[in-house]
A and B are shown apart, each in its own frame.
Chain A
Amino acid sequence: MSVSTVDRAISQKEKVRENYLNVAHTVESWLLTTDHKRIAMMYLISISFFFVLGGIFAGLVRLELTSPNGKLLSSETYNKVFSAHGIIMVFLFLVPVIPASIGNFMLPIMIGARDLAFPRLNLLSWYLYMIGGGMILASILFGGVDTGWTFYTPYSSIYANGNVALCLVGVFIAGFSSITTGLNFIVTVHKMRAPGMTWFRMPLFIWALYATSVIIMLGTPVVAITLLLVVIERTLGFGIFSPELGGDPVLFQHMFWFYSHPAVYIMMLPALGVINEIIAANCKKRIFGYEFVAFSSIAIAVFGFIVWGHHMFATSQSMYASMVFSVISFLVAVPSAIKVFNWITTMYKGSVELTSHMLFALGFIGLFTIGGLTGLYLSSIATDLHLTATYFVVAHFHYVMVGGALLGFMSGLHFWWPKMTGKMYNEFWGQLTAILMFVGFNMTFFPQFIAGWLGMPRRYHFYAQEYQVWHVASSLGASVLGIAFILPAIYLTHSLIAGKQASANPWNAVGLEWTIPSPPTTFNFPENDLPVVTWEAYEYYKEQHGHGHSDELEVGAFEWRESEEASV
Chain B
Amino acid sequence: MSLHALETVGVGDDGHEEHAHQTVSIQYENIEQQNESYIVGMWSFLVTEVMFFGALFLLYSLYRVLYFNAYLEAHQFLDVKWGTLNTMVLLVSSWSMVMAVYSGQKGRRKAVLVFLGITQICAAAFMGVKSIEYSKKFGEGLFPDARFNYAKALTMHHEESKASGNVHEPPSPRHVMAFKALEEAEKAPEVTLAAPTAMATLAGAPDKNQIKEAVPSAAWGTFEHEQNKARIFFSIYFTMTGLHGVHVLIGMLLMGALMYFYGSKHHCVEDYIPLELIGLYWHFVDIVWIFLFPLMYLIS
* Chain A residues proximal to chain B, CB less than 8 Å: 34, 108, 113-120, 154, 158-159, 179, 183-184, 186-188, 190-192, 217-222, 224-226, 229, 232-234, 236-240, 242, 244-248, 251, 255, 258, 523, 527, 530, 568
Residues in A whose Cβ lies below 8 Å from that of B10: 119
Chain B nearest Cβ from A532, distance in angstroms: 12
Check A225 against B56 for contact (C-beta < 8 Å).
yes
A–B pairs, 14, beta carbons within 8 Å = A34-B11, A115-B26, A115-B27, A120-B11, A183-B48, A191-B33, A217-B48, A221-B51, A222-B55, A225-B56, A238-B238, A240-B236, A530-B29, A568-B3
Residues in A whose Cβ lies below 8 Å from that of B56: 225
Check B41 against A187 for contact (C-beta < 8 Å).
yes
Task: Tell whether A158 pairs with B59 under 8 Å between CB atoms, given A239-B144, A240-B235.
Answer: no
Chain B nearest Cβ from A250, distance in angstroms: 11
Check A237 against B44 for contact (C-beta < 8 Å).
no
Chain A nearest Cβ from B3, distance in angstroms: 5
Residues in B whose Cβ lies below 8 Å from that of A118: 37, 41
Check A239 against B52 for contact (C-beta < 8 Å).
no
Q: Residue A246 contacts which of B27, B36, B62, B232 (CB distance < 8 angstroms)?
A: B232
Check B27 against A222 for contact (C-beta < 8 Å).
no
**Number of cross-chain contacts by CB at 8 Å:** 133
* Chain B residues proximal to chain A, CB less than 8 Å: 3, 10-11, 25-29, 33, 36-37, 40-41, 44-45, 47-49, 51-52, 54-56, 58-59, 62, 66-67, 144-146, 148, 197-200, 202, 225, 228-229, 231-232, 235-236, 238-239
Check B232 against A225 for contact (C-beta < 8 Å).
no
Q: Cα distance A258–B51 when bound, in Å?
A: 11
Q: Residue B144 contacts which of A224, A237, A248 (CB distance < 8 angstroms)?
A: A237
Check B62 against A183 for contact (C-beta < 8 Å).
no
Residues in A whose Cβ lies below 8 Å from that of B66: 248
Task: Tell whether A218 pairs with B47 under 8 Å between CB atoms, given A115-B26, A246-B229.
Answer: yes
Q: Cα distance A190–B45 when bound, in Å?
A: 14
Q: Residue A183 contacts which of B44, B52, B236, B238 (CB distance < 8 angstroms)?
A: B44
Check A158 against B236 for contact (C-beta < 8 Å).
no
For the complex of A and B, list the 8 residue pairs with the smallest distance between their C-beta atoms, beginning with the closest: A246-B228, A238-B235, A115-B27, A221-B52, A221-B51, A191-B37, A158-B198, A117-B37
Q: Cα distance A360–B114 when bound, in Å?
A: 62
Q: Cα distance A195–B137 when bound, in Å?
A: 58
Q: Cα distance A159–B197 when bound, in Å?
A: 12
Check A245 against B197 for contact (C-beta < 8 Å).
yes
Chain B nearest Cβ from A35, distance in angstroms: 10
* Nearest A residue (CB) for B41: A187
Interface-central residue, B36, B37, B225, by most chain A CB under 10 Å: B37
Q: Cα distance A201–B100 when bound, in Å?
A: 41
* Nearest B residue (CB) for A116: B27
Check A245 against B228 for contact (C-beta < 8 Å).
yes
Check A119 against B27 for contact (C-beta < 8 Å).
yes
User: Which secondary structure characterizes the binding site on chain B?
Assistant: helix
Check A244 against B55 for contact (C-beta < 8 Å).
no
* Nearest B residue (CB) for A218: B51
Check B55 against A251 for contact (C-beta < 8 Å).
no
* Extra contacts besides A225-B56, A246-B229 (19): CB < 8 Å: A108-B27, A118-B37, A118-B41, A119-B11, A120-B11, A187-B41, A190-B37, A217-B48, A218-B47, A221-B55, A232-B235, A233-B235, A236-B144, A238-B239, A239-B231, A240-B239, A245-B228, A523-B27, A568-B3
Check B62 against A251 for contact (C-beta < 8 Å).
yes
Q: Cα distance A114–B33 when bound, in Å?
A: 13
Q: Cα distance A113–B200 when bound, in Å?
A: 56
Check A237 against B199 for contact (C-beta < 8 Å).
yes
Check A245 against B232 for contact (C-beta < 8 Å).
yes
Task: Tell whether A187 pairs with B37 under 8 Å between CB atoms, given A115-B27, A220-B48, A225-B52.
Answer: yes
Check A191 against B27 for contact (C-beta < 8 Å).
no
Chain B nearest Cβ from A221, distance in angstroms: 4
Residues in B whose Cβ lies below 8 Å from that of A158: 198-199, 202
Residues in B whose Cβ lies below 8 Å from that of A229: 59, 239
Residues in A whose Cβ lies below 8 Å from that of B145: 236-238
Residues in A whose Cβ lies below 8 Å from that of B25: 119
Chain B nearest Cβ from A179, distance in angstroms: 6
Chain A nearest Cβ from B264, distance in angstroms: 21
Q: Cα distance A154–B228 when bound, in Å?
A: 15
* Nearest A residue (CB) for B238: A238
Chain B nearest Cβ from A146, distance in angstroms: 15
Q: Cα distance A191–B44 when bound, in Å?
A: 13
Q: Residue B232 contacts which of A217, A221, A234, A247 (CB distance < 8 angstroms)?
A: A247
Check A232 against B231 for contact (C-beta < 8 Å).
no
Residues in B whose Cβ lies below 8 Å from that of A242: 198
